[in-house]
Structure 1
Amino acid sequence: MNTKSVTPHIVEWLKTYAENAKVSGFVVGVSGGVDSAVTSTLCALTGLDVMCLEMPIHQTESHVSRAQEHIEQLKNRFPNVQSTRVDLTPVFESFKSEIDLEGSTIMVDMALANSRARLRMTTLYYYAGLLGKLVAGTGNKVEDFGVGFYTKYGDGGVDLSPIADLLKSEVYDLGRALEIPESILTAAPSDGLFGDSRSDEDQIGASYPELEWAMKEVENGKTVDDFEGRERTVLEIYSRYNAANKHKMNPIPVCEIPQNLK
Structure 2
Amino acid sequence: MSFLEGALDGTPGLVSVSLGRLGAPPAYTRSPDAPHYAASTMKVAVLVALHRAADAGLLDLDAPVPVVNDFASVGGSRYTCDPGYDNEDEVWRRLGSSAPARWLARRMIVRSSNLATNLLIGLIGLPAVAGAWRAAGATGSVTARGIEDPVDLDNTVTAADLARLLGGIATGSVAEPASCTEMLDVLAAQEDLAIEVPGGARVAQKSGWVTGVRHAAGVVLPAGEPPYVLAVCTTGAPDGVIARLSRLAWDARKELL
**Under a length normalisation based on structure 2, what TM-score does the superposition of the two structures give?**
0.31
Q: Which has the higher helix share?
A: 1
Q: Higher RCO, 1 or 2 (CA under 8 Å, sep at least 6)?
A: 2
Which of 1 and 2 has greater Rg?
A: 1
Which structure's residues are more often strand, by fraction?
A: 2
